[in-house]
């Protein structure tokens, strides 16, 4: 057996930052293709990978780029993008400087422990202010070179291409310092960065090879999913026979849907692959439903989407919705069109389940049964529109309840008379106000001894509707408690929220 020799491998770069600071435009310039126009709402919504070549010190060097979505809903994918990568580019607009999502992306980079380079983009814009942007970076503890730190940076224009060659040089220099290495002779290992169901070809996954070489005829295992390496393509969709470390590839023919972010390994023999598959954990399950003692209102969801990455993004949005009275639960999810089975699952739910289609169609049989049972299928192609709609559903379905709103308190200074359960007293408002008709709690020392209601209220022998803090009053209070001098009455209103 020949010795396995480590060799220098190309870097995998994650492009990260705020939603509209030009990440996709940067990649668009580098690879001369267009991502932005093909995405609904102009927001990149799937993780993709691209391989480019750049001349560095007289040699052609390969670089793999990950396009990690910038929308806040895709935090999980973005964090995974950083963990897959060797180096990150933090894109910051020269017009706007650091934004909350910039810091969110930076947090993912730091958590992964990889080095990063700052790219100050949009320097061609009329409102670009390089000095202000640098100051914004320093204010947010991003210490770039020349400004008290050691983080490399480049000023660029993704529109004109200015500074991009310098940025690529910087990335390759950082890669050299990181001494990235791999062994070409060993079995391929890496990360699943995307998975989807092709209606004609079946389940396909985009893989980043982090070590070894993947060859046609082998078998790939990720999670509890396995695929023969037969339909095997590079990032351009060209059929290939093998690929080595740092390359993005697509393998079609998985028997199950692998999870985004899961690791994969290649095996020469199908028998070995099947054995490895049996010990893998299954794919991510759906959210749990209400327990027996849970009094919250349940909103069940049946979700179909185009990719596993989209499902993760939707799950991230759902985590932020709901409240102490409402729970959103995903009872079924999957990749591909809404099927008849999906609609049947929703109809079988006791809690009026919602059917959501994100970037997918609806099968004819599913549409027919939905019409027959008057079940709506809600379609979306932009994540924030889905989030806004779900937020509206939560507010609409939140059960109303009575809440006691505190108004004020008063001390009883004099006790005059009583007739049955109506007591005439004199007092002074200590906090807030006392209002005619309001409910009151009677407190004696530290203990609440009863409840009642203010039936009449007077100030200077004149009937009034309320008395403010510091004011003295006479009142008729209806309560079954014998009031005493020194008691405190706490006024409140019962409102429905």
- Find the CATH number of the domain harbouring 361: 3.40.50.10050
Q: Are residues 14 and 82 in the same domain?
A: yes
Q: Are 419 and 425 in contact (CB under 8 A)?
A: no
Q: Are residues 152 and 218 in the same domain?
A: no
Q: What is the pLDDT of residue 287?
A: 43
Q: Are residues 62 and 202 in the same domain?
A: no
Q: Are residues 198 and 344 in the same domain?
A: no
Q: Are residues 94 and 143 in the same domain?
A: yes
Q: What is the pLDDT of residue 286?
A: 42
Q: Which of 332, 291, 340 is nearest to 314 (CA)?
A: 332
1 inside domain: no
Q: Which of 369, 360, 367, 368 is nearest to 335 (CA)?
A: 360
Q: How many structural domains does the chain have?
A: 4
- The domain in which residue 235 lies consists of 184-278
Given CA atoms 392, 394, 399, 401 in this order, what sign does their dihedral have?
A: negative
Kindly state the helix (H) or strand (E) to which residue 83 belongs, with its residue range: helix 75-84
Domain at 212, CATH number: 2.40.30.10
Q: Are residues 32 and 157 in the same domain?
A: yes
Q: Are residues 22 and 159 in the same domain?
A: yes
Q: Distances from the Cα of 287 to the Cαs of 230, 301, 330, 332, in angstroms?
A: 35, 10, 5, 9
Q: Are residues 34 and 157 in the same domain?
A: yes
Instruction: Using the 3D structure, point to which of 181, 196, 220 is the last residue of a domain.
Output: 181
**Distance in angstroms (rounded) separating the CA atoms of residues 103 and 141:** 10
- Tokens describing residue 314: 């939707």
311 inside domain: yes
Q: Are residues 383 and 416 in the same domain?
A: no
Q: Are residues 259 and 390 in the same domain?
A: no
> What's this model's pTM, rounded to 2 decimal places?
0.64
Q: Are residues 189 and 176 in the same domain?
A: no
Q: Are 78 and 70 in contact (CB under 8 A)?
A: yes
pLDDT tens digits in sequence order for the chain, 497 residues long? 445 688 999 999 999 888 788 888 898 888 764 334 455 555 555 557 888 888 898 899 999 998 766 555 566 666 666 678 899 999 999 999 999 889 988 988 888 889 999 999 999 999 999 999 999 999 999 999 998 899 999 999 999 999 999 999 999 999 999 999 999 999 999 988 888 887 788 999 999 999 999 999 999 998 789 999 999 998 888 899 999 999 999 999 999 888 777 889 999 999 888 887 765 533 333 444 555 555 678 899 999 988 888 888 898 889 888 888 888 988 888 888 898 888 988 988 878 899 999 999 998 889 999 999 999 999 999 999 999 999 999 998 888 777 888 999 999 999 999 988 999 999 999 999 999 999 999 999 999 999 999 999 999 889 999 999 999 999 999 999 999 999 999 999 888 77
């Amino acid at each position: 057996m020949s010795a396995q020799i480590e060799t220098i491998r190309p870097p995998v770069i994650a492009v990260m930052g705020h939603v509209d600071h030009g990440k996709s435009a940067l990649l668009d310039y580098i690879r001369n293709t267009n991502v932005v126009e093909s995405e609904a709402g102009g927001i990149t919504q799937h993780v993709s990978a691209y391989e480019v070549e750049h001349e560095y010190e007289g040699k052609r060097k390969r670089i793999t780029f990950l396009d990690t979505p910038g929308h806040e809903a895709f935090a999980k994918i973005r964090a995974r993008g950083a963990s897959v990568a060797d180096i990150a580019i933090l894109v910051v607009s020269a017009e706007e400087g650091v934004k909350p999502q910039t810091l969110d992306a930076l947090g993912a980079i730091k958590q992964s422990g990889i080095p990063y380079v700052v790219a100050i983009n949009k320097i061609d814009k009329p409102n670009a202010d390089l000095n202000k942007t640098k100051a914004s970076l320093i204010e947010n503890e991003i210490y770039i070179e020349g400004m008290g730190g050691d983080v490399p940076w480049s000023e660029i224009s993704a529109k004109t291409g200015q500074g991009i060659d310098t940025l690529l040089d910087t990335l390759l220099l950082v890669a050299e310092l990181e001494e990235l290495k791999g062994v070409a002779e060993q079995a391929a290992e890496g990360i699943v960065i995307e998975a989807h169901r092709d209606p004609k070809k079946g389940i396909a996954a985009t893989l980043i090879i982090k070590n070894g070489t993947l060859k046609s005829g082998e078998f790939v295992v990720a999670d509890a999913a396995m695929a023969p390496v037969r339909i095997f393509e590079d990032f351009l969709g060209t059929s290939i026979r093998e690929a080595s470390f740092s390359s993005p590839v697509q393998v079609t023919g998985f028997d199950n849907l692998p999870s985004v972010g899961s690791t994969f390994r290649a095996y020469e023999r199908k028998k070995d692959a099947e054995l490895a598959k049996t010990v893998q954990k299954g794919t991510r399950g759906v959210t749990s439903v209400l327990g027996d003692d849970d009094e919250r209102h349940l909103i069940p969801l049946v979700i179909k989407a185009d990719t596993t990455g989209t499902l993760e993004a939707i799950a991230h949005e759902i985590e932020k919705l709901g409240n102490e009275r409402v729970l959103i639960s995903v009872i079924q999810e999957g990749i591909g069109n809404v099927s008849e089975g999906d609609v049947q699952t929703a109809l079988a739910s006791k809690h009026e389940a919602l059917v959501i289609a994100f970037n997918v169609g609806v099968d004819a049989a599913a549409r027919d049964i939905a019409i027959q049972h008057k079940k709506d299928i809600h379609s979306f192609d932009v994540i924030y529109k889905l989030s806004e709609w779900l937020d509206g559903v939560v507010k609409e379905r939140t059960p109303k309840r009575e809440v006691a709103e505190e108004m004020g308190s008063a001390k009883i200074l004099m006790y005059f008379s009583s007739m049955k359960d109506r007591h005439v007293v004199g007092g002074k408002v200590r906090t807030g106000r006392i209002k005619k008709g309001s409910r009151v709690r009677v407190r004696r020392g530290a203990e609440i001894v009863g409840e009642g209601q203010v039936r009449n209220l007077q100030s200077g022998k004149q009937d009034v509707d309320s008395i403010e803090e510091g004011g003295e009053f006479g009142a008729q209070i209806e309560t079954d408690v014998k009031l005493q001098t020194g008691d405190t009455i706490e006024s409140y209103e019962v409102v429905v929220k």
